[in-house]
Structures are given as structure tokens and as C-alpha cells.
């Protein structure tokens, strides 16, 4: 009894502290995700890198991100949430420090780029799952706050890019975000609880790994949830990619001026990222009060309605109203993508971070396959609404088919 009492007190004392630190970390991670690439390109450009070399390193970074999300998830499930998140922040701080202190070293720039890509993949998954486990109430709404914080960090970076401040503040920006990383690491080390009460069963289930045994769990239900949520992520991502390709082709046909196209892309990036932050926030609290099924179906209906309007009013891109419709479509699709991974982790009783990671990787592979097989849909003058609408209907059926998990409540 005394042991339980001593475990309860730090949980109550560190609950909101953990949320606030992870929220700050998510905003910072979203900001770094967007600004690190132009900063890195600026530095390697000064070293005489060619476009082909930059593209090659970016492709390596994409593969590192895929491996990274699986690695961090496994570490968080087996080693512990706190240890994995601290290690991810330390790696990111080292990468940014190396980029800032040693910008003239070719090999250093190459490896710090890969290290930053590796570290960034672990922060969202571990932060959201850890805070979910440490929240007895309002889990949907508070999880939405974390994920919308990541989108707000991306939005801040897009606003700076629109104001042409990224290149100007490159050195100072690296110093600031590096200091922010160190601050997050220090506060996490001081405030975060070592073991969560909600995760006690997970902690005890990690012990059989030391003996080379696989813990006994309901793996059939675990895999079923992963397949369903992975399909939802893959379909929503495929629709989003097709929509982006269509909008890009429409903008190019309207005006081939490179500078003007860059300006339009910046505005669209601001609006879609802002829409994502708003969509995650509203849908999270909608799940909290009206139910998971209603909120997810609402996102599907919103995205479908916006795409239908684009089909029936193809001239909408000639004025500013088209940007609002596109914002609504990405609000629905982007929120579906984020919630498919978060709910996959929340709907299982064990190995939650691994569930998030496997759904992410599987959904991306599914979306890439669909996008590769159907390249001509987005190249025509008319948006291929009927094909993407069929995908949205499939998502709605999958959402309805998911059994409401008891773990989430």
C-alpha cells in the first residue's frame, strides 16, 4: 500500500508538467522539421554541392526516417518512453550543434543531416503515446493539442519562409532551436516520471525479452487494428498526394513564372498547415465530446465536399476562394492521417509506439503504391473526383468497421 501511495503522488505532480514540456517539444520539432532543410541546403550550397548531390542526400534522409520511426518505437516499448525521448532530443541537439559549429566540413554536414532526420522521427510518436498513457481524462482533446502543436511549429516556419527570414536568420535560428532542444532535454529529465502507473503492465511485460521470450498478448486484435488503421492512412495519404499533384499542375498551367509559383506555393503551405492545426484541434475535442466515429466521419465528409466543389467549380483557382476550399480538403485529409496513427497506438493495450510506427510505414508504402499505379489521374484538366471519392467511401467503411477499443476509454 505504501508503495502505491508513493507512486501516486509524483503522477499527480508531474502530469501537467509532462504535457507542457511535450507540447513545447512538439512545437519545436515541427518548426525544426521545416527549417532544417533550407538551412542545410544553404550550408551545403556554400560548399559547392550540386543539385544531384542534394537530392541524393534527401532520398537517404527519407529512408533514414522510415528506419528511425521503427527504431524509436521499439526503443520506447522495450527500453522506456522517457529514455527513448531523451535520446531523440539529445541526438537532435547534437545534429543542430554540428550544423551550426562546423558548417564548412563536408562530411559533418552529410552526417548531421541524417542524424537530424533520424532524431526527428522519434519525437512525435513517443511524445503523444507517453502523454496519452499519463492522462486519465480528456485524452482525445489533449492529444489533439500535442499534434496541433506540431502543425503550429510547421506553420511558424512557413510564415518565416514567406517573409524571407529563413535565410537571414539561418545561423541565429540554429542557435535558438539548438538551445530549445537542450532546454527540452533538461526539463524532461527533471519533470518526467520514471514509470507511469498506466504503463506498469507494459513495464512488467518487457521483462520476458531479457530471457528471449515473446510476451503473451492478444496479437490477433493488435494486428487487425494495425491493418485497418494502416489502410485508412494509406488511402488518405494517396488522396492528399493526388490533390497536391492536381493543384500543382493547375497552378503551372495558369502561370509558369517561377517566382510567382513559389509565392503561391508559400501561401498554400501556410493555409494548409494552418488548416491542419485547426482540424486536429477541433476533431480531437469533437472525439472527446461527440465520439470518435462522428468526428472521423465528419473529417471524411468535409474533405469529400471540398473535393466535390473543386470538381464542379474548376475555375475556383482563379481567385482566392480556391485556397479556402483547398484548406478545407487538407484539413480533413491531414487530420485523418494524424489520427489514424494516434488511434492505432491508443487502441491497443501493449506496444503502442510500435503500432504507431508500423501503421506509419505501412500507410506510406500503400499510398506510394497507389500513387505510382495511377499517375495520370492528377494530370488531366479535370480533377478525378470519382476515383478519390471511392477512396473516401472506403475510408468511411473502414472507420465504421473498427471496434471501439476499451483501452481508449
Closest residue by Cα to residue 188 from 388, 18, 395: 18
Which position has the grid cell 560548399? Answer: 47
With bands split at pLDDT 50, 70 and 90, how would you rate the model's confidence at 148?
Answer: very high
Bigger pLDDT: 183 vs 170: 183
Query: Into which CATH architecture does domain 219-401 fall?
Result: Up-down Bundle (1.20)
Closest residue by Cα to residue 280 from 345, 339, 206, 192: 339
Tens of pLDDT, residue by residue over 132-141, are 888 777 888 8
In this predicted structure, what is the pLDDT of residue 175? 62
Share of the chain above pLDDT 90, in %: 7
Tens of pLDDT, residue by residue over 88-99, are 888 888 888 777
Determine the Cα–Cα distance for residues 22 and 27; give it in Å rounded to an integer.
9
Which position has the grid cell 501537467? Answer: 16
Determine the Cα–Cα distance for residues 128 and 116; give it in Å rounded to an integer.
20
- The predicted model gives 114-118 an average pLDDT of 88
The secondary structure element, H or E, covering residue 133 is helix 106-133
In this predicted structure, what is the pLDDT of residue 301? 92
Domain spans of the chain? 11-196, 219-401
Counting other chains too, the contacts that 308-314 makes at CB distance below 8 Å and 24 or more residues apart are: 308/385, 308/389, 310/383, 310/385, 311/382, 311/383, 311/385, 314/381, 314/382, 314/383
With bands split at pLDDT 50, 70 and 90, how would you rate the model's confidence at 151?
Answer: very high
In terms of pTM, does the model score above 0.85?
no
Closest residue by Cα to residue 218 from 403, 9, 383, 6: 403
Over 80: is that where the pLDDT of 44 sits? no
Map 308-321 to HEC letters: HHHHHCHHHHHCCH
Phi, psi (rounded to 5 degrees) for 407 = -60, -35
Tens of pLDDT, residue by residue over 315-350, are 666 655 667 788 888 888 889 998 888 888 887 777
Sequence-distant (6+) residues with CB within 8 A of 296 are 283, 287, 336, 339, 399
- Locate 132 and state its grid cell: 496519452
Which of 21-30, 194-203, 314-323 has the highest mean predicted lDDT (pLDDT)?
21-30
Over 80: is that where the pLDDT of 197 sits? no
Q: Are 102 and 46 in contact (CB under 8 A)?
A: no
* Topology (CATH level 3) of domain 11-196: Growth Hormone; Chain: A; (1.20.1250)
10 three-class SS: helix
Question: Is-same-fold flag (11-196; 219-401)?
Answer: yes
Tens of pLDDT, residue by residue over 257-273, are 555 666 667 777 888 88
Amino acid at each position: 500500500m505504501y508503495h502505491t501511495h508513493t507512486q501516486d503522488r509524483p503522477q499527480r505532480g508531474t502530469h501537467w508538467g509532462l504535457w507542457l514540456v511535450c507540447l513545447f517539444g512538439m512545437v519545436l520539432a515541427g518548426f525544426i522539421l521545416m527549417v532544417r532543410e533550407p538551412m542545410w541546403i544553404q550550408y551545403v550550397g556554400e560548399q559547392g554541392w550540386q543539385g544531384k548531390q542534394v537530392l541524393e542526400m534527401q532520398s537517404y534522409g527519407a529512408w533514414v526516417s522510415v528506419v528511425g520511426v521503427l527504431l524509436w518505437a521499439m526503443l520506447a516499448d522495450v527500453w522506456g518512453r522517457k529514455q527513448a525521448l531523451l535520446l531523440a532530443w539529445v541526438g537532435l541537439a547534437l545534429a543542430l550543434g554540428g550544423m551550426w559549429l562546423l558548417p564548412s566540413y563536408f562530411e559533418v554536414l552529410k552526417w548531421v543531416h541524417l542524424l537530424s532526420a533520424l532524431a526527428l522521427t522519434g519525437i512525435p510518436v513517443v511524445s503523444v503515446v507517453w502523454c496519452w498513457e499519463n492522462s486519465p481524462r480528456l485524452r482525445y482533446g489533449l492529444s489533439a493539442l500535442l499534434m496541433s502543436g506540431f502543425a503550429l511549429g510547421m506553420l511558424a516556419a512557413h510564415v518565416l519562409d514567406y517573409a524571407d527570414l529563413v535565410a537571414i536568420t539561418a545561423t541565429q535560428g540554429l542557435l535558438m532551436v539548438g538551445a530549445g532542444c537542450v532546454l527540452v532535454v533538461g526539463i524532461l529529465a527533471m519533470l518526467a516520471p520514471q514509470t507511469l502507473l498506466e504503463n506498469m503492465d507494459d513495464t512488467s511485460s518487457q521483462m520476458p525479452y531479457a530471457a528471449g521470450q515473446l510476451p503473451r498478448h492478444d496479437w490477433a486484435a493488435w494486428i487487425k487494428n494495425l491493418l485497418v488503421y494502416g489502410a485508412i492512412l494509406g488511402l488518405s495519404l494517396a488522396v492528399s498526394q493526388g490533390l497536391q499533384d492536381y493543384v500543382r499542375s493547375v497552378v503551372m498551367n495558369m502561370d509558369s513564372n517561377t517566382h510567382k509559383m513559389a509565392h503561391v506555393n508559400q501561401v498554400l503551405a501556410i493555409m494548409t498547415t494552418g488548416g491542419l492545426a485547426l482540424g486536429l484541434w477541433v476533431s480531437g475535442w469533437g472525439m472527446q465530446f461527440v465520439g470518435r466515429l462522428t468526428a472521423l466521419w465528419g473529417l471524411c465528409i468535409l474533405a469529400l465536399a471540398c473535393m466535390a466543389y473543386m470538381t464542379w467549380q474548376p475555375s475556383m483557382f482563379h481567385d482566392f476562394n480556391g485556397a479556402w476550399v483547398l484548406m478545407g480538403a487538407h484539413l480533413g485529409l491531414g487530420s485523418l492521417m494524424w489520427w489514424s496513427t494516434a488511434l492505432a497506438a491508443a487502441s491497443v493495450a501493449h506496444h503502442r509506439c510500435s503500432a504507431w510506427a508500423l501503421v506509419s510505414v505501412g500507410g506510406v508504402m500503400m499510398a506510394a503504391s497507389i500513387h505510382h499505379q495511377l499517375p495520370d489521374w492528377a494530370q488531366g484538366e479535370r480533377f478525378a473526383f470519382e476515383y478519390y471519392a471511392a477512396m473516401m467511401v472506403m475510408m468511411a467503411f473502414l472507420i465504421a468497421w473498427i471496434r471501439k477499443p476499451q483501452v481508449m476509454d
